[in-house]
Structure formats: structure tokens, C-alpha cells
Chains A and B, each alone.
Chain A
Amino acid sequence: MASTDPMDNPARPWILLTPALTAIMLLLIVPLGFIIVYSFWLNTGFGVDTPGFHLDNWISALTDPFYRSILITTIRIALITTVICALLGYIPAYFIATTTFGHKALLLLLLMLPFWISYIIRTMSWINILGSSGAVNGLLQWAGITAEPISMLYNEATVILGLVHFLLPFMILNVYVSLYGIDGRLVEAARSLGCTGWQAFREVTLPLSLPGLAAGGLLCFVLAAGTYITPLILGGPRDAMFANLVFEAIITQLNWPMGSALSLVLLIVLGSVVALYNRFLGLGQIAKSLS
């Protein structure tokens, strides 16, 4: 009767995992290994590659001033976006977590709705607002403040605006989850010991919500730095981000080895950020907010 409990069968979990693991192996891990190899090949013509071990792609990916300036721009945009998301996201998260209003779930659901609305629609919607015939210009001209439309679109600021609009729900949700988990009696204790409301927030609530803030920050940073579409729709010709370089190399120039090296640079930069985060804070927090 040794096998009456099928939970003991050591092969069972592997049978259940086989389909997912096969997919991950074939669609993620092997392809990633493959582009590592490919990044050392050399493109010797339009779409023609020479196998081998060449460092040329890596050298230009790391030293070419053009690539470097775009990498710096990408990191700058991602950092600014993350900081703005943290500042703007904390407030509604704090409000929903603390309000005595009975329909917290509804308030949260409302903030989740934009998360479900198509990314490209949300991005392009800013053209309706800030474009030369958009809502703001329409209002300004109607009010007689300006005669001609003011050009507000297609710059780095609008790229950041689009990204903040896209990523804010991620931040709010993460902060909310950590604020919700704080024992309210801690704040009461701080107050009863003589803290002002602001002091209690600074000494108790804020430190306890830092894991959520950090998790939201990581998600915002990584997603912003990997963006491809937002700079195309809301940025000008000079506002390309790193993912645009990759697309350009792969699809337009058919220089696969260079595209591989560039996408690995992006993976390494973002991977280091994730690894550092995991080393000090752990990725568990992020899983918590997603589920």
C-alpha cells in the first residue's frame, strides 16, 4: 500500500510542470542563450551574418557615443518617470488605505480600470489632449489666450507624461498593498505617545510602506526603460529610447548580431537593477501585488 497517497509520487510534479517548462525552455531560455551566441557573430551585409567569435558588436554597443547617449536618455527617462510615479502614486494609495469611506474596493477598482485600457489607446489619447487641435489648445484659443496653437507634443516631457500615465496604477497598487498591511494600532500608539499626525506618518507609516514603494518603483523603472512604443507616439525624432535602437537594428537594418548585442545590453542593465533589488529586498513583494 506504499502508493496510496499519490502526493508521494516524485514524478507527479514534473509531469505537471512539463508543458510550462518546455514552453519556457524553448521560448525563453534557449532563445536567450541563442542571442548571446548571435551577439558575437558579425553582420557582413544586408541580412548576411558570419558566425564566429567577434567582439565588434559588443565594442560598439558599449563605446559608440550614439548608443551610450541613448542608454543614458533611457535611464534618465525611466528614473524621472519612477520618481514622479512614486510621488503621485503614494497619495491615492494612502487615501484609499486610510479613508473611512465604505467603498474602498470600488475606489481601487476605478484605479485598476486604466490598467485594463489598451496601452496604445492611453498613449495616443494624449495627442487628443495636447495636440495642435487638442483639448488644451482648443480651450486656450476659445478663451482667447492664444491665437495660434502652442506646440506641446513630441518631446521628452510628453514621453515621460505618457509613461507616468501608463505606470501609475502599478505604483498605486504596490503602495496600497503595503499600506493596507500596516497595523493601524501602530499609528495610534505613536499618536498616543505624543506624535503629531505628520510625525506618526514619517516615523511609522512611511517606513513600513517602503517595501511597496520600492516594489512599485522597480516595476515602473523596468517597464519604462524597456519602452518602445511611447517614444514613437509621443516623442520627437530625437527622443528614441534603447528599445527603439534594438527594433531599428533587427527589423530595419536586418543586423541581427548588433541587435542581439544591443538587446543584451538592455537586459544586463535592467537585470542588474532587478538583481540588486532582489538581493536587498526580495522579489516576493512584487508577486504579492500582482496576485
Chain B
Amino acid sequence: MTFMPSGWSLIRFATILIYLFMFLPVAVVVLLSFNPAQFGSFPMEGLSTHWFVELWNNDAIRRAFRTSMILGALTAVISTTLGVLASLAMVRYNFPGKTIIATAVIAPILVPEVVLAVALLLFLQFLGIPKSFFLLLMGHVIFTLPFVVLVVQARLVGVRREYEEAAMSLGASQIQTFFAITLPLILPAVAAGMLFAFTISFDDITGTLFWKPGGVETVPTQIFAMLRNSISPEINALGTVMIVVTVALPLLGAALARRLARGVGG
């Protein structure tokens, strides 16, 4: 043992500090959401689920939650469908202009969200299409699409073409081959892409603030509106629910999927 810490233990110590930095703020949100006090602050005055009950009885929040769920689910389904088709084209075929199209498909990640939001909003309003749930949905689809494509493409590259060729040489049509062979093989990536799209949509605020019609709130814009007053235990409770929806549920889903897959396999 020396007095000077070795480089490695410094690295380990710094890593632990960075993990704490990442998690402490979130832990505080969860902790304070159980604080019964009117103005959520330290020191805690006890533990209660009072604010979750308040949350449940808050109509505006329930509406926002429903909007976010529907929006997220529709976004996930649409952008995954578009993304899977595009990925198939780009991994399985060679065609002129492939590089340009590959760039175009991930371009929405590279364009700052504000610019994308402005462009789409002004264009649709110019066409006389007012702000609506449809505009919101289209906006969410366009910026979740690149993530789906990236995830599905990566998996598709690893699926050998021989499987599909074997099915087709045995007489399966293209569509039959896709549903019987390709889709099951890329299913984990499709599910991951869907989850990705759902979470990104559920979490989005910048684009949503531009696109949402008056009176419609999603969970993030609802939180944002509530933050204008002050940070209340109710916001922390909502934050806790959000954490459960965007972290615990996907984790649970993944664990369940793994268990099911194991059950089928062995």
C-alpha cells in the first residue's frame, strides 16, 4: 500500500462520482415526490403517496398522459413501419443514389429540432393545414424515423440472405418470406426501434411546443407549463411516473421478452 493513489483507483473513484452525478438528481425527484409537504423541499416531512393521489385526480394531467400515450404509440407504429421497409431496401438491394438516400433518411437527426419544427409548422400552415394532432404526429414520425432505421439496419446486416433465398427457392413469395423468415429474425430490432420511437415521442418537448394545437398538452409540455409557477411535489410525482413509464416499463419488457425467448428456445 502506498500513500499515493494509483491512477486506476483515481479513475474508479471519478467513475463512481460521475455515476452519482448522473443519478442523484433523478433520485431526488423520486424521493421528493413522496414528501407530503405543500412545497416540496428539504428537509422531508415524512413519506406519503398524497401527491400521486393528487396526480391521479388531476384531469389536465390525465388528459396529457392519454395524449402522450396515443401519440407515442401511433408514432412508434408508423415510423417503425416506414423504417423497416426503408431498411430492407437499403440493406438488401443495390440501387443508384443509395448513399444520398442513406444520408436523407438519417438527416432529421442532423437538423436541429427547432429548425425542423419551424419548417414543418410553417409549411403546413402555408398549405392551410392548421396545427393539429395530425401535424404533431407527422412531426414525431419524422424525427423518430432515423433511430428506427439505424437500429433495424444494424440487425438486418447480420441476418444472412441465404435464409430468405432458401424460403423463396421453396416457393414462398416475397411477402411470405418477409413475414415467415425476415421479420422473426429482426424482431428484437423492430421491437427496440418501436420502443425507441415511443420513448423519444413520449419525451419530446421542443417540436411538440411548436406543433401542438391550443389546448392539447402532452406530459412534457404539461410539466413545462406547471414549472412556470414553481416546482411542486406534484411535478416530482409526475416525474416519478414518467421515469417508471420510460425506464422501468421498457426494462421490464426487455426482461420479459428475454424470459419468453428462453422459454421458447429451451
Contacts and interface: CB of A to CB of B under 8 A. Distances in A.
Chains A and B bind each other? yes
B142 A28 contact: yes
A23 B29 contact: no
Interface in A242-273: 243, 246-247, 250-251, 256, 259-260, 263-264, 266-267, 270-271
Contacts of A228: 113-114, 206, 209
A136 B224 CA distance: 23
Interface in A120-149: 120-122, 124-129, 131, 133-135, 137-139, 142
Given A27-B141, A28-B119, A118-B220, A263 B203 contact: no
Interface in A5-22: 6-7, 10, 12-14, 16-17, 19-21
A30 interface: yes
A116 B246 contact: yes
B174 A6 contact: yes
B6 to A, nearest CB: 9
B28 A28 contact: no
Contacts of B219: 118
Contacts, number: 251
A267 B122 contact: no
Nearest to B139: A27
B89 interface: yes
Interface residues of B, number: 89
Nearest to A27: B142
Interface stretch (B35-43, B47-55, B256-264): B35-43
Given A228-B206, A259-B118, A116 B250 contact: yes
Contact of A19 (B14, B26, B82, B101): B82
B7 A198 contact: yes
B112 A29 contact: no
Interface string B71-97: 000000000011101101110110100
Contact of A13 (B15, B23, B95, B220): B95
Given A128-B40, A138-B42, A34 B126 contact: yes
Contacts of A17: 85-86, 89-90, 101
B141 A111 contact: no
Considering residues B95, B109, B115, which has the most beta carbons from chain A within 10 angstroms of its beta carbon?
B115
Interface residue tally on A, bucketed by range: 35 or more
B85 A263 contact: no
B22 interface: yes
A267 B112 contact: yes
B166 interface: no
Given A35-B122, A287-B150, A28 B111 contact: yes
Contacts of B220: 118-120
Contacts of A55: none
A116 B26 CA distance: 12
B142 A24 contact: yes
B136 interface: no
B123 A34 contact: yes
Given A32-B119, A125-B239, A267-B112, A117 B142 contact: no
6 contacts: A16-B93, A27-B139, A28-B119, A114-B22, A121-B26, A229-B224
Interface of A: 6-7, 10, 12-14, 16-17, 19-21, 23-24, 27-32, 34-35, 38, 88, 91-92, 94-96, 110-111, 113-114, 116-122, 124-129, 131, 133-135, 137-139, 142, 165, 168-169, 197-198, 222, 225-226, 228-229, 232-233, 243, 246-247, 250-251, 256, 259-260, 263-264, 266-267, 270-271, 274, 283, 287, 290-291
Given A23-B142, A165-B22, 7 more contacts: A31-B119, A35-B115, A35-B123, A117-B246, A118-B202, A169-B22, A267-B115
Interface of B: 7, 11-12, 14-15, 18-19, 21-26, 28-29, 32, 39-43, 81-83, 85-86, 88-90, 92-93, 95, 101, 103-116, 118-124, 126, 138-139, 141-142, 145, 147, 149-151, 153-154, 168, 174, 199, 202-203, 205-206, 209-210, 219-220, 223-224, 227, 231, 235-236, 239, 242-243, 246-247, 250
Q: Which 4 pairs, one residue from A and one from B, show the smallest C-beta to C-beta distance? A: A138-B42, A133-B41, A226-B112, A125-B25
